């Protein structure tokens, strides 16, 4: 006789009899509800071509912004640095400062990553403390 057990709703459900090896067939799935019957939206696949197209669009937009920036800041300025004096457009001076700042930040980030890798390598060589 199948065993009667209460389910979450409080009504009694039946379990199949245990098999000789102790396993039982998997329980049947509940009937689908209206929400489950709704069409499933598939995620869009992210391919290398779609990534390249997105990068191209972003690059073109950045280039347009850069050209507008250069056109609006075409006035010449005099820059003095350690006694050297140069006269360049404001846009070029700002872009050079931007590139120099990015290179400094990349150098600092690289130094920190190298430091963390050395610590990890050192910790890997040590036997674990008991």
* Angle, CA of 100, 105 and 107, to the nearest 5°: 95
Q: Two tokens at 129?
A: 């403390």
Q: Is residue 15 part of a domain?
A: no
Q: Is residue 24 part of a domain?
A: no
CB contact at 8 A, 89 and 73? yes
More confidently predicted of 98 and 23: 98
pLDDT in tens, 10-60: 555 566 666 667 666 656 666 666 555 566 677 767 777 888 888 899 999
Q: Is residue 59 part of a domain?
A: yes
Q: Is residue 115 part of a domain?
A: yes
Q: Can you tell me which residue has the tokens 């990349």?
A: 106
**pLDDT surpasses 60 at 8:** no
Q: Is residue 70 part of a domain?
A: yes
CB contact at 8 A, 62 and 56? no
Q: Is residue 34 part of a domain?
A: no
Q: Is residue 10 part of a domain?
A: no
Domain hosting residue 112, numbered range: 48-125
Q: Can you tell me which residue has the tokens 């820059």?
A: 79
Total domains present in the chain: 1
Cα–Cα distance between 40 and 10 in angstroms, integer? 31
Percent of the chain whose pLDDT exceeds 70? 67
């Amino acid at each position: 006789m199948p065993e009667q057990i209460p389910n979450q709703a409080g009504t009694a459900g039946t379990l199949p009899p245990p098999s000789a090896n102790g396993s039982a067939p998997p329980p049947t799935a509940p009937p689908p509800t209206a929400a489950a019957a709704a069409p499933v939206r598939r995620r869009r696949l992210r391919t290398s071509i779609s990534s390249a197209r997105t990068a191209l669009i972003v690059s073109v937009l950045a280039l347009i912004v850069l050209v507008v920036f250069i056109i609006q800041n075409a006035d010449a300025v005099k820059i003095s640095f350690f006694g050297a004096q140069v006269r360049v457009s404001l846009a070029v001076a700002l872009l050079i400062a931007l590139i120099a700042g990015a290179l400094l930040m990349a150098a600092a980030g690289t130094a920190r990553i190298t430091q963390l890798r050395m610590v990890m390598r050192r910790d890997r060589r040590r036997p674990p403390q008991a």
